[in-house]
Amino acid sequence: MASSAAAGFLSRGSSGNNSNMRGLVQFIADLRNARARELEEKRINKELANIRQKFKGINHGNLSGYHKKKYVCKLLYIYILGWNVDFGHLEAVNLISANKYSEKQIGYLAMTLFLHEQHELLHLVVNSIRKDLTDHNELFNCLALHAIANVGSREMGEALSGEVHRLLISPTSKAFVKKKAALTLLRLYRKHPDIVQPQWAERIISLMDDVDMGVALSVTSLVMALAQDNPEQYKGSYVKAASRMKRILVDGEYAQDYLYYKVPCPWIQVKMLRLLQYFPPSEDTHVRELIRESLQKILNLALEMPKNVQQNNAQNAVLFEAINLIIHLDTEQALMQQISTRLGKFIQSRETNVRYLGLEAMTHLAARAETLDPIKQHQAIIIGSLKDRDISVRRKGLDLLYSMCDQTNAQPIVGELLHYLQNADFAIREEMVLKIAILTEKYATDIQWYVDISLRLIAMAGDHVSDEVWHRVIQIVTNNEELQVYAAQNILQYVKADHCHETLVKIGGYILGEFGHLIAEDKGCSPIEQFLALQGKLQGCSSSTRAIILSSFIKFVLLFPEIKRRLMMVFHAYSHALDSELQQRACEYLALASLPDDELLRKVCDEMPPFPERQSALLFRLHQKHANTSDKRTWVVGGKDANANEKELTLTKNPGLKRAQSTTGTPVNGTNGSATNGTNGHAKGMNDLMGLDMMNAGPAEPKTMKAPPNLASAAHLSPDWEIGYNKLLLKPEGILYEDGQIQIGVRTEYRGQMGCVILYFSNKAPVAVSSFTTTLDLDPAEKENLSWEVKGLPESTISQGSQSQQMIMFTAKNVFEKSPTIRISYLAGALQAVTLKLPVVLHKFMDPAELTAEDFFKRWKQIGAAEREVQRMFGVKGGRDADREINESFIRKTVEGFKWGVLDGVDQTKKNFVGASVLHIGEGRKIGCLMRLEPNYEKQMMRLSIRATEEVVLSILMKLMEEKLALGISTQPEVILPPTRREISDTFGNILVS
């Protein structure tokens, strides 16, 4: 057979010598391949038979680990060649349980290649993997982590994710094991997000401070993925990233191994800069200053000329991510001015990557900037980028032109885009059409311009026009009376042309059917000419377009009786069409047109009413390409108005969300689509043309997952928190909390409505503590009443016996009742955390007042009773038999601790206490407060009366004083921090001055 085929090739004429030779060569090559395949199959079958015999023979139990590994390796090679080796799957699984690393490694390799997520043997290896995860051999740990990450089934993830997390947080795990554990969790989270537990968040965030830069990098990658979906749960990573960035860039805290061509740790810099963009800008001035220092350092380093390509690439990677963060912050005006000039140079760079990144950063700037003037200066260069040799640069240029478009430059930009559309790549034509349609509608100031551009766009790129675009054109024309005549005239001219795109025919069929009678008297627009124009397109169109034309013809029957005979002929012809839809349509229209009167036909063919709110997918289609990426962007392609709408960002993150589209700025009155005459009608039309404003999206799907607990809130206070808190209610300094590992001291000073609180953290543990983190929290109802500003963060690592401090400035903007809380977490082997209530209460903002007896009683009477007085009678907790008691010294000390100015000799009864104070709230707001305390030492009872110029403070002060006085004399020893108060007074004064 082969010889006859070859003879056939050689027997042909000399005119086909070249083709014959090529055919012969191909034939010989195919023959050789077939022969080689036959030999390969024969050899593989022989080898498989030998391996099957070894595994299933009587000596199988005597096979050494080496031979098992050898045969599994052979099976791996055969499997890679494409042959079936099902019988060896179980042997590979059994090899995982081997004690030698080399044998276990081959077993894991075979398992990850042979088994898929739904494989029936997969459940057999879960226990073996768990055993390797708990083994003290780090290499076994890594093999198990590799297997989990590569297979990554839900069953395996749910069973083993806890062990993976344990390896990640264990203080005994080596750095390379932690890195693999973090990346394994990342892989599991991307496939099955619910596997990562909410309670792991705080512990995972703490590892961002790990001394090993590789661990910090891997954990940051994990946190980036988690923070995108759970920003509230991982908000603690914001301060961690800002602090670590500052330590790397400004303080130079990094190993020399991570200095990449003079750029310190560029990968972790990029990730942390990106992570900071997932959160709104911090309101904390200290954190903002940390970020500002780091960003300024990056900009300064970028001014240095790189010496090689690697340094240039690393430097640019960090620089462009820093630029994106500066734009995201939108508060650093000095930094914004620096990057605006640089971006103009970047988009003109000779390097394709730099041009691409420059255009993307400028698109981000256009999405956030208040004014587009700095970007418009480079409009000619940006338009020129549409002709760049690289398609990715052309895409970015298109994005930027779309984002920088406004009322002033809409027409030239749309004109350039239309001009370029004729020669644009097919890969971006649909996106260009969509953006041109949106810009034309959004910024149309002339109704005729809108119609011209829309029809011209469809004529030029009809194959790339989605249905949403031409539906939108019909919708706007229908809802605007002033557009109908002009649109009908223009679409008729397009339909008359010999070559007319089918999408234009659809528009023509609808518009002429609805509004063709408005132009029937115009030259070249007679009923017969409209009919002939549409009839000429019937044969070359799809069934859906023919259906639209037939629907327009039934309306012609009513509007143009003079051509009814021709129309009936068309209906009769299509009543025998093979397409069932067209046949049914034609038969029904024929029956309607044949009725003796037109009453039913008039009802059926009544004018279309204005479109109500409809679903529009224009912006959905535009943003959909960014919606499913693993790294979600925090802004959308478009101007500041698009990014100011939270629904736009929701759209990019949830592409399945349906959004209602308003087609009318003002509803059209009447059923015939007529608009209000005069100026108001024109204004209404303009509102319609700018109708891409997305309306309410409707209710989102209810979430069944509970919100993660806020561990820094008052609901999670640590045991014994009240011991130090109660002491410090009446003292400016002391110990707030102490255990075997940490001591927390507090010093405070208040001036007017401002208060300075300095926290001292002393490490009592026998080793250094790391990842030291503090988080402040306040009841949401009180956040408008009490604000704070952090002036410094504690050190991330506190060595044994050392101390770190944190300064916080509080401002009482209004009367508040609940105190702020603070959560302190740190690593001392395992994660340790305490949540405490800070002794920042209302009476701390009071100043004692000195009054004479005459002035006191005068003001007491002026304030009066009723709403401005509260009075309570109470005794010591536990009654007279309790271990506590009240005496004159205790009461005086308590009253003075509440910052009342004790007025001796004012009350006629000498044992009574009278006090006066002024509460400072907000900007210069003062509330006068008076107090009278009548003790009965025999019965251990008290009557407390408080009057104030504003009744809102009465219940709060009464509650605080009653709780403290009812405790009686405290038997707990008092501890005072050794340094003097001069230090805090000087510090407080410096802050006020600055």
- Binding-site residues, in ranges, read 22-23, 54, 66, 70-74
Question: Whose CA is closest to 422, among 461, 383, 480, 370?
Answer: 461
Q: Would you tell me how many other CB atoms lie within 10 Å of the CB of residue 704? A: 5
Q: Rounded CA gap, 515 and 528, in Å?
A: 15
Q: Rounded CA gap, 575 and 590, in Å?
A: 8
In three-state secondary structure terms, 873 is strand
In three-state secondary structure terms, 742 is strand
Alpha helices, H only, 201-265: 201-206, 213-229, 236-249
Q: Rounded CA gap, 33 and 23, in Å?
A: 15
The answer to whether the beta carbons of residues 820 and 838 sit under 8 Å apart is yes
Angle at 108 between CA 105 and CA 113, to 5 degrees: 125
In three-state secondary structure terms, 393 is helix
852 dihedral zone (left: phi>0; alpha: psi -120 to 50; beta): beta
The answer to whether the beta carbons of residues 213 and 191 sit under 8 Å apart is no
Cα-based distances in Å from 872 to 531, 865, 933: 93, 14, 10
Q: What is the DSSP string of 747-812?
A: EEEEETTEEEEEEEEEE-SSS-BEEEEEEEE--GGGTTTEEEEE-----S-B-TT-EEEEEEEEEE
Query: Helix 352-368 to helix 309-329 angle, to the nearest 10 degrees?
Result: 10
Query: Strands 786-790 and 803-812: what pairing?
Result: antiparallel
The answer to whether the beta carbons of residues 531 and 495 sit under 8 Å apart is no
- Hunting for tokens 């942390």 — which residue is that? 272
Q: Rounded CA gap, 110 and 126, in Å?
A: 15
In three-state secondary structure terms, 915 is strand
Backbone angles phi and psi of 918, in degrees to 5: -125, 125
Q: Rounded CA gap, 627 and 420, in Å?
A: 27
Q: Rounded CA gap, 905 and 690, in Å?
A: 77
In three-state secondary structure terms, 735 is strand
Q: Rounded CA gap, 35 and 788, in Å?
A: 82
- What count of residues does the chain have? 994
Q: Rounded CA gap, 5 and 26, in Å?
A: 12
Q: Within 13 Å, how many C-alpha atoms sit on residue 216's CB side?
A: 25
In degrees to the nearest 10, what's the CA dihedral of 848, 852, 855, 860? 60
* Sequence-separated (6 or more) residues with CB below 8 Å from residue 372: 366, 404, 406, 639
In three-state secondary structure terms, 958 is helix
Question: Whose CA is closest to 473, among 491, 489, 461?
Answer: 491
CA 660 to chain centre: 22
The answer to whether the beta carbons of residues 469 and 618 sit under 8 Å apart is yes
966-988: b (≥16 Cβ within 10 Å) or e = ebbeeeeeeeeeeeeeeebeebb
